[in-house]
Amino acid sequence: MRDDAFGNALRATDFENRRQLAKIGKPVDRGEWLITPATVDAYYNPSANDINFPAGILQSPLYDSHASDASNYGHVGGVVGHELTHGFDDEGRQFDGNGNLADWWTAEDGKHFDEKADCEVKEYGNFVAVDDVKVNGKLTLGENTADNGGLLLAYMAYLDRAKKEGVDLAAKKDGYTAPQRFYIGFAQNYCENSRPEQVRNQVLTDPHSPNGVVQNMPEFGQAFGCKAGQPMMPVNACRVW
Ligand SMILES: [Zn+2]
């Protein structure tokens, strides 16, 4: 109904609740998508153990058939790596290959994971988002683990491809080397302006944090000529995966 936004919201919620409840006792529909084809987003679903990329996110600038491989791997490659790594973050690791909640790790591996994850909890927990409000390192751990592990995966995949194609990593195109274009592509994914109120709301409620990935990748510092110990190449960088 055109003139009843609140009523429409109630009816839509009612419809969705019934649709979800009707699934009980039925076989799992592994072909179901949780977001629409036009959505510019992607997700990992631990219950299905699958990663999903609708058409909306496979468009320029995230994936651009005219852009260089380095740029595309930094853009959408980082997103693909992010969703893959969610399967092995603090939540995803609790689900087995069939999507069931089951601990399939050795106690020793679990302990090592917690130690490495704790480095990220502390690191992100020290980021000042706005005024005196800091990022919540625990709330954002899963996303941070996925961001960090995902970009490393994407970079490894890019280096692999570049090697196969004999790309000269030191050669410049449009003024930048291939590793630099990879990281610029990644940075463009996150390029935005936010009001202080929005940032405050985000860090208090959203598991996605303002991004702190590249300082944990020595490969970034090497690409841009940073020296060990400088802010973007800290000696105590965190790495879970
Ligand atoms: Zn995520």
Q: Rounded to 5 degrees, what angle do the CA atoms 70, 76, 78 make?
A: 80
Ligand 1 centroid – CA 85 distance (Å) = 9
In this prediction, residue 134 carries a pLDDT of 95
Ligand 1 centroid – CA 227 distance (Å) = 30
Q: How far apart are CA 94 and CA 101, in angstroms?
A: 6
172: helix, coil or strand? strand
In this prediction, residue 135 carries a pLDDT of 95
| Exposure string for 116-150, b = 16+ CB within 10 A, e = fewer | ebebbbebbbebebbeebebbbebbbbbbbbbbbb
Mean pLDDT of 54-72: 95
The one catalytic residue among 83, 89, 123, 143: 83
Tell me the whole-structure pTM to 2 decimals: 0.91
**Among 66, 78, 40, 60, residue whose Cα is nearest residue 182:** 78
With beta carbons less than 8 A apart as the criterion, state whether 78 and 146 touch: no
pLDDT per residue as tens digits for the range 208-240 = 998 789 999 999 999 999 999 999 999 989 999
Average pLDDT for the chain: 95
In this prediction, residue 52 carries a pLDDT of 96
The one catalytic residue among 69, 90, 143, 147: 147
Ligand 1 centroid – CA 135 distance (Å) = 16
Q: Which residues surround ligand 1, an ion (CB under 5 A)?
A: 143, 146
In this prediction, residue 212 carries a pLDDT of 85
Would the pLDDT of 203 be above 80? yes
| 83 noted as active-site residue | yes
Q: How far apart are CA 119 and CA 228, in angstroms?
A: 18
Ligand 1 centroid – CA 186 distance (Å) = 15
Mean pLDDT of 60-89: 96
Q: How far apart are CA 100 and CA 102, in angstroms?
A: 6
Ligand 1 centroid – CA 20 distance (Å) = 23
For a pLDDT cut of 90, what percent of the chain falls above it?
93
Would the pLDDT of 159 be above 80? yes
pLDDT per residue as tens digits for the range 98-143 = 999 999 999 999 999 999 999 999 999 999 999 999 999 999 999 9
Ligand 1 centroid – CA 88 distance (Å) = 12
For a pLDDT cut of 70, what percent of the chain falls above it?
100
Q: How many residues does the chain have?
A: 241
Ligand 1 centroid – CA 139 distance (Å) = 12
